[in-house]
Amino acid sequence: NAGVTQTPKFQVLKTGQSMTLQCAQDMNHEYMSWYRQDPGMGLRLIHYSVGAGITDQGEVPNGYNVSRSTTEDFPLRLLSAAPSQTSVYFCASSYDRRQARDSYNSPLHFGNGTRLTVT
């Protein structure tokens, strides 16, 4: 199994450009999420999904959109890039708590990240 795959690994955008960060998992996980990591701020949740067709906002959703048309894929779209969105983005997945009682505390599996720079 590949686990959680993120593409691209690096990206440079100009202010105002849009792009999509891809995330795919092959573990049949229901729960998927996007975090951004900034120095001194840890990881902050952007959006998450508990299954195909279901998405919700996290702590810092502004400027980002997501969709979940399949169980495997959870792309993150930057609508109009801003320098404040310069960050490292991580996608993560886990068994959803609805599947089984123990799944509520199943660990998150992370991708290797996308380093985004907005100039």
Residues in contact with another protein by CB under 8 A are: 4, 33, 35, 40-45, 48, 50, 56, 58, 90, 92, 97, 104-105, 107-113
Q: Which residues of 61-94 are buried (b: 16+ CB within 10 A; e: fewer)?
A: beebebbbeebbebbbebeebeeebbbebbbbbb
Secondary structure class of 84 (helix, strand, coil): helix
Tell me the closest approach of the beta carbon of residue 35 to another protein, in angstroms: 8
Considering the complex, state which of residue 80 and residue 100 has its C-beta at the smaller distance from another protein.
100
Considering the complex, state which of residue 17 and residue 108 has its C-beta at the smaller distance from another protein.
108
Tell me the closest approach of the beta carbon of residue 84 to another protein, in angstroms: 18
Alpha-helix residue ranges (DSSP H) falling in 24-118: none
